[in-house]
Copies of this chain bind each other. A is one copy, B any other.
Protein backbone atom coordinates (compact mmCIF):
# COMPACT_ATOMS: atom_id res chain seq x y z
CA UNK A 1 0.00 0.00 0.00
CA UNK A 2 1.15 3.47 -0.91
CA UNK A 3 1.20 4.96 2.56
CA UNK A 4 3.43 2.24 3.98
CA UNK A 5 6.50 4.30 3.19
CA UNK A 6 9.67 2.70 1.94
CA UNK A 7 12.93 3.44 3.65
CA UNK A 8 13.15 6.54 1.49
CA UNK A 9 9.86 7.91 2.86
CA UNK A 10 6.89 9.07 0.81
CA UNK A 11 7.55 10.33 -2.69
CA UNK A 12 6.73 13.84 -3.77
CA UNK A 13 3.62 12.63 -5.61
CA UNK A 14 2.42 10.72 -2.59
CA UNK A 15 2.79 13.76 -0.37
CA UNK A 16 1.11 16.11 -2.82
CA UNK A 17 -1.84 13.81 -3.49
CA UNK A 18 -2.30 13.05 0.19
CA UNK A 19 -2.35 16.73 1.04
CA UNK A 20 -4.70 17.55 -1.82
CA UNK A 21 -7.11 14.88 -0.65
CA UNK A 22 -7.01 16.04 2.95
CA UNK A 23 -7.42 19.66 1.91
CA UNK A 24 -10.52 18.82 -0.12
CA UNK A 25 -11.85 16.50 2.56
CA UNK A 26 -11.53 19.24 5.18
CA UNK A 27 -13.64 21.50 3.03
CA UNK A 28 -16.32 18.87 2.53
CA UNK A 29 -16.42 17.35 6.02
CA UNK A 30 -16.47 20.81 7.63
CA UNK A 31 -19.51 21.73 5.59
CA UNK A 32 -21.58 18.55 5.66
CA UNK A 33 -20.34 16.53 8.63
CA UNK A 34 -19.15 12.96 8.37
CA UNK A 35 -22.36 11.27 7.33
CA UNK A 36 -23.45 14.04 5.03
CA UNK A 37 -20.20 13.97 3.08
CA UNK A 38 -19.41 11.67 0.18
CA UNK A 39 -16.25 10.53 -1.51
CA UNK A 40 -17.68 11.86 -4.75
CA UNK A 41 -17.67 15.35 -3.28
CA UNK A 42 -14.09 14.95 -2.10
CA UNK A 43 -13.13 13.62 -5.52
CA UNK A 44 -14.77 16.56 -7.29
CA UNK A 45 -13.28 19.08 -4.84
CA UNK A 46 -9.75 17.67 -5.14
CA UNK A 47 -9.80 16.77 -8.81
CA UNK A 48 -8.63 13.29 -7.87
CA UNK A 49 -10.68 10.30 -8.94
CA UNK A 50 -12.55 8.34 -6.31
CA UNK A 51 -10.61 5.09 -6.85
CA UNK A 52 -7.38 7.05 -6.73
CA UNK A 53 -8.41 8.51 -3.37
CA UNK A 54 -8.97 4.99 -2.13
CA UNK A 55 -5.49 4.13 -3.30
CA UNK A 56 -4.11 6.61 -0.77
CA UNK A 57 -6.61 6.15 2.05
CA UNK A 58 -8.38 3.06 3.33
CA UNK A 59 -11.76 4.75 3.14
CA UNK A 60 -13.91 7.67 4.13
CA UNK A 61 -13.49 6.93 7.83
CA UNK A 62 -9.70 6.94 7.58
CA UNK A 63 -9.58 10.33 5.90
CA UNK A 64 -11.86 11.78 8.55
CA UNK A 65 -9.80 10.26 11.35
CA UNK A 66 -6.61 11.71 9.90
CA UNK A 67 -8.17 15.18 9.77
CA UNK A 68 -9.35 14.93 13.37
CA UNK A 69 -5.95 13.79 14.55
CA UNK A 70 -4.25 16.74 12.87
CA UNK A 71 -6.92 19.09 14.19
CA UNK A 72 -6.45 18.18 17.82
CA UNK A 73 -2.73 18.75 17.64
CA UNK A 74 -3.22 22.42 16.91
CA UNK A 75 -6.55 22.84 18.64
CA UNK A 76 -5.24 22.63 22.18
CA UNK A 77 -2.17 24.73 21.55
CA UNK A 78 -3.61 28.18 22.35
CA UNK A 79 -4.80 26.99 25.75
CA UNK A 80 -1.50 25.25 26.45
CA UNK A 81 0.25 28.59 26.03
CA UNK A 82 -1.66 30.12 28.93
CA UNK A 83 0.95 30.15 31.68
CA UNK A 84 1.47 31.29 35.25
CA UNK A 85 4.35 33.53 34.21
CA UNK A 86 2.53 36.71 33.24
CA UNK A 87 -0.28 38.83 34.61
CA UNK A 88 -3.44 36.70 34.95
CA UNK A 89 -5.81 39.08 33.18
CA UNK A 90 -3.33 39.54 30.33
CA UNK A 91 -2.76 35.78 30.05
CA UNK A 92 -6.48 35.08 29.75
CA UNK A 93 -7.13 37.95 27.35
CA UNK A 94 -4.20 36.83 25.21
CA UNK A 95 -5.73 33.35 25.12
CA UNK A 96 -9.05 34.83 23.98
CA UNK A 97 -7.27 36.76 21.23
CA UNK A 98 -5.37 33.67 20.04
CA UNK A 99 -8.52 31.59 20.01
CA UNK A 100 -10.42 34.22 18.06
CA UNK A 101 -7.58 34.42 15.56
CA UNK A 102 -7.89 30.67 15.04
CA UNK A 103 -11.58 31.08 14.22
CA UNK A 104 -10.60 33.71 11.69
CA UNK A 105 -7.69 31.82 10.14
CA UNK A 106 -8.92 28.21 10.40
CA UNK A 107 -12.71 28.34 10.24
CA UNK A 108 -12.97 24.97 8.52
CA UNK A 109 -11.12 23.23 11.31
CA UNK A 110 -13.47 24.84 13.79
CA UNK A 111 -16.51 23.66 11.86
CA UNK A 112 -15.10 20.16 11.49
CA UNK A 113 -14.75 20.01 15.24
CA UNK A 114 -18.18 21.55 15.82
CA UNK A 115 -19.85 19.09 13.47
CA UNK A 116 -18.22 16.21 15.26
CA UNK A 117 -19.14 17.34 18.78
CA UNK A 118 -22.62 18.44 17.76
CA UNK A 119 -23.31 14.96 16.44
CA UNK A 120 -22.28 13.37 19.71
CA UNK A 121 -18.51 13.17 19.15
CA UNK A 122 -18.64 9.46 18.26
CA UNK A 123 -15.20 9.47 16.66
CA UNK A 124 -13.50 11.85 19.05
CA UNK A 125 -14.92 11.12 22.49
CA UNK A 126 -11.70 9.51 23.71
CA UNK A 127 -9.76 12.64 22.83
CA UNK A 128 -12.23 14.78 24.75
CA UNK A 129 -12.14 12.55 27.80
CA UNK A 130 -8.33 12.26 27.64
CA UNK A 131 -6.14 15.14 26.45
CA UNK A 132 -8.84 17.82 26.39
CA UNK A 133 -10.15 17.08 29.86
CA UNK A 134 -6.63 16.82 31.28
CA UNK A 135 -5.59 20.15 29.81
CA UNK A 136 -8.80 21.84 30.92
CA UNK A 137 -8.43 20.52 34.45
CA UNK A 138 -4.86 21.80 34.55
CA UNK A 139 -5.75 25.29 33.34
CA UNK A 140 -8.84 25.48 35.54
CA UNK A 141 -6.59 24.79 38.51
CA UNK A 142 -4.24 27.54 37.35
CA UNK A 143 -7.14 29.99 37.16
CA UNK A 144 -8.39 28.87 40.57
CA UNK A 145 -4.93 29.62 41.93
CA UNK A 146 -5.16 33.16 40.59
CA UNK A 147 -8.55 33.52 42.25
CA UNK A 148 -7.26 32.24 45.58
CA UNK A 149 -4.39 34.72 45.36
CA UNK A 150 -6.89 37.53 44.78
CA UNK A 151 -5.42 38.35 41.36
CA UNK A 152 -8.71 37.97 39.48
CA UNK A 153 -12.34 37.98 40.50
CA UNK A 154 -13.93 34.81 41.83
CA UNK A 155 -15.64 33.10 38.90
CA UNK A 156 -16.04 29.45 37.94
CA UNK A 157 -12.89 28.55 35.98
CA UNK A 158 -14.53 25.82 33.91
CA UNK A 159 -17.42 27.97 32.79
CA UNK A 160 -15.03 30.81 32.06
CA UNK A 161 -13.17 28.48 29.71
CA UNK A 162 -16.43 27.27 28.15
CA UNK A 163 -17.46 30.86 27.53
CA UNK A 164 -14.14 31.58 25.81
CA UNK A 165 -14.50 28.53 23.59
CA UNK A 166 -18.07 29.40 22.65
CA UNK A 167 -17.68 33.13 22.05
CA UNK A 168 -14.59 32.73 19.88
CA UNK A 169 -15.63 29.65 17.91
CA UNK A 170 -18.99 31.28 17.24
CA UNK A 171 -17.34 33.50 14.63
CA UNK A 172 -16.25 30.44 12.66
CA UNK A 173 -19.12 28.02 13.29
CA UNK A 174 -21.96 30.53 12.87
CA UNK A 175 -20.17 32.69 10.33
CA UNK A 176 -23.12 32.68 7.95
CA UNK A 177 -25.42 33.97 10.66
CA UNK A 178 -22.96 36.60 11.87
CA UNK A 179 -22.42 37.91 8.36
CA UNK A 180 -26.12 37.86 7.58
CA UNK A 181 -27.08 39.81 10.69
CA UNK A 182 -24.26 42.32 10.30
CA UNK A 183 -24.87 42.61 6.55
CA UNK A 184 -22.91 45.61 5.26
CA UNK A 185 -21.19 45.99 8.64
CA UNK A 186 -19.69 42.50 8.43
CA UNK A 187 -16.28 43.31 7.01
CA UNK A 188 -14.53 44.22 10.25
CA UNK A 189 -16.38 41.66 12.37
CA UNK A 190 -13.22 40.06 13.72
CA UNK A 191 -11.73 43.39 14.73
CA UNK A 192 -14.96 44.40 16.47
CA UNK A 193 -15.28 40.98 18.08
CA UNK A 194 -11.73 41.18 19.42
CA UNK A 195 -12.42 44.56 20.98
CA UNK A 196 -15.71 43.45 22.50
CA UNK A 197 -14.33 40.23 23.94
CA UNK A 198 -11.29 41.99 25.37
CA UNK A 199 -13.56 44.50 27.09
CA UNK A 200 -15.89 41.81 28.41
CA UNK A 201 -13.21 39.57 29.85
CA UNK A 202 -11.30 42.43 31.42
CA UNK A 203 -14.49 43.60 33.13
CA UNK A 204 -15.24 40.04 34.24
CA UNK A 205 -11.77 39.28 35.57
CA UNK A 206 -10.19 42.48 36.87
CA UNK A 207 -10.69 42.50 40.65
User: In the complex, which residue of chain B has the Cβ closest to the Cβ of A31?
Assistant: B119
List 27 contacting pairs A-B, 8 Å CB cutoff, sorted by A: A31-B120, A32-B33, A32-B35, A36-B36, A114-B174, A115-B119, A117-B176, A118-B173, A121-B180, A125-B176, A128-B177, A132-B177, A133-B180, A136-B181, A153-B203, A156-B192, A158-B181, A158-B185, A158-B192, A159-B192, A160-B196, A162-B171, A163-B167, A163-B197, A163-B200, A165-B170, A166-B169
16 extra A-B contacts, CB within 8 A, seeds A114-B114, A136-B181: A31-B119, A36-B119, A121-B177, A132-B180, A133-B181, A133-B183, A155-B200, A156-B195, A158-B185, A162-B170, A162-B178, A163-B167, A165-B170, A166-B166, A200-B204, A204-B204
Q: Report whether A196 and B163 are in contact in the complex, using a CB–CB cutoff of 8 Å.
A: yes
CA distance A195 to B120 in the complex (A): 26
The answer, yes or no, to whether A129 is at the interface (CB within 8 Å) is yes
Also in contact, A129 and B193, with CB within 8 A (given A118-B173, A118-B174, A199-B155): no
Encoded as 1 (CB less than 8 Å from any B CB) or 0, chain A from 143 to 162 comes to 00000000001011011101
Q: Report whether A166 and B174 are in contact in the complex, using a CB–CB cutoff of 8 Å.
A: yes
Q: Among the listed B129, B166, B193, which residue makes an inter-chain contact with A170, where contact means beta carbons less than 8 Å apart? A: B166
Q: Report whether B128 and A180 are in contact in the complex, using a CB–CB cutoff of 8 Å.
A: yes
The answer, yes or no, to whether A34 is at the interface (CB within 8 Å) is yes
The answer, yes or no, to whether A182 is at the interface (CB within 8 Å) is yes
Q: Report whether B111 and A196 are in contact in the complex, using a CB–CB cutoff of 8 Å.
A: no
Q: Report whether B36 and A176 are in contact in the complex, using a CB–CB cutoff of 8 Å.
A: no
Write the nearest CB–CB distance from A179 to chain B, whole angstroms: 9
